[in-house]
Amino acid sequence: MAKIIVVTSGKGGVGKTTSAAAIATGLALRGNKTVVIDFDVGLRNLDLIMGCERRVVYDLVNVIQGEAGLNQALIRDKRVDNLHILPASQTRDKDALNLEGVEKVLDTLSKDFDYILCDSPAGIERGAQLAMYFADEAIVVTNPEVSSVRDSDRILGLLASKTRRAERGEEAIKEHLLVTRYNPARVDSGDMLNLDDIREILAINLIGLIPESEAVLRASNQGVPVTHDADSDAGQAYTDTVARLIGEEVPLRFHLYEKRSLLSRMFGGGRR
């Protein structure tokens, strides 16, 4: 049976879909048969970041509404054989999703995959609640900003109360914190929350820290998950995150501010 992991956030624009694509790719590169599902009906960005937007014929809503089979809607990743994408619909609204249909899709996928990642819409509306309802684990994505962290705290409340595990009184969803767009220099100057502040507010296990990096934007524009950019700091940080997710102990990187010398500032260039 597959492990179902929801990638969620309280606020939009924090890098949630980028993270879902990068983590799914990292899991597949480690030999795990992985599928990532876009639950953001009406917007649909996952296929763009995965570079398969032109190959979308059927989507999650088509499957749930009985208009296509699951195998017709699944798209095999071009770079990693054991990675698949199930895109969202761009023309329907979120009411097209229902609990029974989502459960059937997840149950069917669980027979063939090791990991199912659910890329949730931001916020607390129906699509987000359906994405998290059947989850075994949750990756809560936040930026080091007060508003983003506060909204993430609301998501933790939903994970504790509005999921199948909560309704059945079963073991709670395992929650992980992923901090994105972390800039140690801005943290040092007081413009961003530091890691201790974020962990104190949310009180969940930190699974990864993704530094602010040009590589993320570059990868998104190219339709290639940043995990493939092994030379970039962001690519390495997502690889570290995946390793921790599967139980390995990996030291935290990219969180300390290193003051650069004058020569380094003149000739060193920007962050990759």
The domain locations on the chain are 3-268
Do residues 94 and 61 touch, judged by C-beta distance below 8 A? no
Cα distance between residue 18 and residue 108, in whole Å: 25
> What pLDDT is attached to residue 272?
59
Is 11 assigned to a binding site? yes
Residue ranges of the alpha helices (H) in the chain? 16-29, 46-49, 60-64, 70-73, 99-110, 126-133, 146-161, 164-168, 184-188, 195-202, 214-222, 233-245, 262-267
Is 269 assigned to a binding site? no
Cα distance between residue 88 and residue 40, in whole Å: 6
Architecture of domain 3-268: 3-Layer(aba) Sandwich (3.40)
> What pLDDT is attached to residue 267?
58
pLDDT at 265 over 60: no
Among 43, 55, 46, residue whose Cα is nearest residue 92:
43
Among 202, 201, 219, residue whose Cα is nearest residue 210:
219
Is 223 assigned to a binding site? no
pLDDT 10s digits, 110-142: 999 999 999 999 888 888 999 999 999 999 999
Is 163 assigned to a binding site? no
Q: Which helix (H) or strand (E) holds 178?
A: strand 174-182
Is 14 assigned to a binding site? yes
Do residues 170 and 163 touch, judged by C-beta distance below 8 A? no
| pLDDT tier, 255 (very low <50, low <70, confident <90, very high otherwise) | confident
Cα distance between residue 272 and residue 113, in whole Å: 33
pLDDT at 101 over 70: yes
| pLDDT tier, 21 (very low <50, low <70, confident <90, very high otherwise) | very high
pLDDT 10s digits, 48-65: 999 999 999 999 999 999
Is 15 assigned to a binding site? yes
Torsion angle of alpha carbons 37, 136, 199, 248, nearest 10°?
-90
pLDDT 10s digits, 137-158: 999 999 999 999 999 999 999 9
Is 69 assigned to a binding site? no
Cα distance between residue 1 and residue 167, in whole Å: 21
pLDDT at 259 over 70: no
pLDDT at 216 over 80: yes
Is 16 assigned to a binding site? yes
Q: State the average pLDDT over residues 87-103.
A: 85
Dig out the tokens for 1 from the structure. Answer: 């049976």
pLDDT at 84 over 70: yes
